[in-house]
Amino acid sequence: MVLKFRKVVVGGTFDFLHNGHLAIISKAYEVGERVTIGICSDEMQQLLMKDSAGIQPLAIRLWRLLNELHSRGWLGRTEINILSDPYGTAVTDRNIDAIVVSPETRARAEEINRIRISRGMNPLEIVEIPFVLAEDGRPISSIRIRYGEIDLHGKKLNHSKTEI
């Protein structure tokens, strides 16, 4: 396999590590020799997230992410950064070539590129993957998992209501 970029970045909260997260992370390793993963600190996600109630602590999110990376043999190609702001090393590391995003996070990548250009840095190549859809045709998301609508793989959960 020919890798396109020397260093790729991807970032997120990675709450309830689900198939959408795994698709974006997998794409980063597919196109990049080295991958920097930014994971939101507990403090940052509380400041930025409209619906941060119930987001798992960083220790749990990081442990699940590291286990997944280990199981896929990717740890040796990985750098993990704890994000205290929405940009992390994407706006400071001149060696990063690309950023992998979903349609939901593309605007942040464009903002990162504006900052990089204003600092005299090259813009990042933006690699956008489509949303991973649940079996109901809507995007898989941590919020939907948290609310019990779907599981990590996008399977719709059945909720039977008890009749009184």
Where residue 91 sits, what CATH number does that domain have? Answer: 3.40.50.620
Distance between CA atoms of 2 and 32, rounded to whole angstroms? 9
What is the tally of structural domains in the chain? 1
First vs last C-alpha separation in the chain: 60
Who's near 57: CB < 8 A, 6+ residues apart? 42
CB atoms within 10 A of CB 78: 17
85 belongs to a structural domain: yes
154 belongs to a structural domain: no
Residue 93 is part of which domain span? 5-12+21-146
Structure tokens at 82: 């704890």
92-143 tens-digit pLDDT? 999 999 999 999 999 999 999 999 999 999 999 999 999 999 999 999 999 9
Distance between CA atoms of 52 and 28, rounded to whole angstroms? 26
Structure tokens at 105: 């996070």
pTM, rounded to two decimals = 0.90
